[in-house]
Structure 1
Amino acid sequence: MKSGTLLISQPFLGDPNFERSVVLLCRYSPAEGAFGLVLTRPTPLVLGDVLPLPPGAPAASQRLPLLAGGPVQPDTLHFLHQRPELPGATDLGQGVYWGGDFDLFLAGLADEAAAATVRLFVGYSGWSAGQLEQEIEGGSWIRQPASAGKVFTLESDAFWRSILREKGGRYRALSNYPLDPRLN
């Protein structure tokens, strides 16, 4: 498994933290575990709600929406972007970068077009060594390798369904699985 892999939850996962979610794997080590960000959980918050921005920060940065990156440390802020020149950024592949110098990141958000190329997250998803592998073996996750570029091409509310349909075959059928099959 590599950074830049998408983890797509099975429709019958049963965990409210990850129900119908897509997680971008940002860091993976068999010995240390994994770190990812849920791409499908919008919150009602914007950046200006949770962080006092420095004077002169671009107005566009105040209104950046926040997504819930996962249930771990919801008081932390993480970001994805398309700025390879940002010092400290980690390349996830396909023109997607994770983290870096936050002050320079904010300074680069001078207009709405720049703001459209970022995603901000509160919290993250984490797995200890061996945990994610067990969950994949147990059928909780479907892997989509080298798909980081999808982050900026699909809307968060339709991401899960869209990525399954795109995979085709039996995954297309899973995309239509009802939230509660007992109501069918």
Structure 2
Amino acid sequence: MEYFEFKNIEQPQKGDLLLSEPFLPDQNFERTVILLCEHNEEGSFGFVLNKLSILKVDEVLDEIGPFAADLFVGGPVQQNTLHFIHDIDELKEGGQKIRDGLYWGGSFDVLQALMQKGKLENEKSRFFVGYSGWSENQLQEEIDHNSWIIARGVHPSYIFNSPPETLWKSILEKMGGRFKIYANYPSDPNLN
């Protein structure tokens, strides 16, 4: 069951989703949903959940064998790195807990073995090239300038199983109120 909290959340925390405001002028983050994996006094980082790359996972990792899962662009930082989030028991050890039912990383050897045996569940994992990062206080400044809307309490299965092309809009609609109105804003207000 999915749950969305939206009552004037002003301070983000690990595990929150950041939704770009409808007219954010940064092409890297236009209508994106970012899973915030870390947020502390040193900075913040996360992964864009709804920006598919043109490649599949097995096209960037030759050593894993056939594994044609979608590969997402996690953000503009270090796009030569591969990351994954999951809710897979075998990978929890060695991974970092983001929140209940959601982990980042884990043993690459275990990941590779699961892929090769065909036991990695796509509905419980997502792969990214690059990530989104903010320096100390940068994210909070952007939130204070209304660049991001914070959604809290979104169930991990909703993150893994929602179509990426509708994720931004569907979360805003479920948040209701003014957010439901944002979901229907045209991408270019001049075309309205």
TM norm. shorter chain > 0.5: yes
> Among the aligned pairs, what percent are the same residue?
44
Confirm or deny that 1:81 pairs with 2:86: yes
Deviations 1:7-45 (CA, angstroms, capped at 9, x unpaired): 00000111100000000000111x210010000100110
Per the TM alignment, residue 92 of structure 1 is displaced from its structure 2 partner at its CA by 1.7
* 2:15 is the counterpart of 1:4: yes
Other-structure match for 1:154: 162
Rate the CA distance shift 1:112–1:103 in 2: closer, same or farther, 3 A: closer
Displacement over 4 Å in runs of 4+: none
Of 102, 105, 108, 1:96 maps to 102
After the TM superposition, which of the residue ranges 166-175 and 93-102 deviates more from structure 2?
Answer: 93-102
Cα deviations across residues 123-175 of structure 1 (Å, max 9, x unaligned)? 00000000000000000000012325131131111000000001000000000
Matched, 1:44 2:44: no
1:63-109, Cα deviation, whole Å (9 max, x unpaired):
12110000000000000111144221112224111101112012223
The TM-score, its normalising length taken from structure 1, stands at 0.91
Alignment pair present for 1:136 and 2:138: no
Name 2:173's counterpart in structure 1.
165
Alignment partners' CA distance in 2, 1:165 and 1:172: 4
User: What TM-score do the two structures reach when normalised by structure 2?
Assistant: 0.87
C-alpha distance in structure 1 between counterparts of 2:89 and 2:38, whole Å: 17
What is the DSSP-based 3-state SS (H/G/I as helix, E as strand, rest coil) of the residue aligned with 1:13? coil
Asked if the contact 1:40–1:156 (Cα under 8 Å) also holds between the matched residues in 2, the reply is: yes
**Conserved? CA contact 1:84–1:97, under 8 Å:** no
Q: What SS does the corresponding residue of 1:161 show, helix, strand or coil?
A: helix
Count residues with an aligned counterpart.
178
d(CA) in 1 for partners of 2:46, 2:155:
12
Measure the CA separation in 2 of the matches of 1:81 and 1:173: 31
Q: CA RMSD in A?
A: 1.6
Q: Answer 1 or 2: which has greater helix percent.
A: 2
The answer on whether the counterparts of 2:56 and 2:70 sit within 8 Å (CA) in structure 1 is yes
Gaps of 5+ in 2: 1-11
Distance across 2 between alignment mates of 1:77 and 1:135 = 26
- Give 1:36's aligned amino acid: G
Contact 1:72 1:125 (8 Å CA) reproduced: yes
For residues 11 and 40 of structure 1, what CA distance do their matches in structure 2 show? 15
Query: Residue 126 in 1 paired to residue 133 in 2?
Result: yes
- Contact 2:39 2:45 (8 Å CA) reproduced: yes
Secondary structure, aligned partner of 1:108 = helix
